[in-house]
Structure 1
Amino acid sequence: MKPPLTFTATGPVYAFVPGVKTGDIVDQLNARQIQLESMLAMTFGETGEALRRLSDGVQDNYMWACSMIAHEIRELTEALQDRQAAERGQS
């Protein structure tokens, strides 16, 4: 398997615990996708007006958080694909 995930900070701060199951990765992936979808829903249309009234710094931090979640989703997806490929190879 690839080295620890890196999306939350520099270096190997975030990694899977020994014995993590494919379903655990799927659960985390689904949760983060729903969270990102909810956060992005606040960036456009009528609800986006509230975000645009916030300071530039707060808006930047909000979008940075969205970006970090998107990066986490990408790495979780790659880890899930690697895990599933390994499982297929053992069958």
Structure 2
Amino acid sequence: MAENLENINPDIVHDATGTYCPIPITELAKVVKQAKTGQIIELQADDEGAIQDVPAWCETTGNEYLGYIDEDGLLRFFVRKTQE
């Protein structure tokens, strides 16, 4: 799965590193709200809690969770906006 994620060119990249729950999710919500349907958002975070929080948020909101890549502690989450 990670191999495919490395080939994704996100439409929006948002850096939430240095923040902790719930900030990465509130930041993601703001960015997704501004994105257009179908756009892919990359959320960068270093809070390991986001590994559970991002997919749970996507399930709750109906947006598509594509997965994440861990690059030595930098977590890169990929979400496709599917809901207006």
Q: Does the TM-score normalized on the shorter chain lie above 0.5?
A: no
Bigger share in strand = 2
Larger Rg: 1
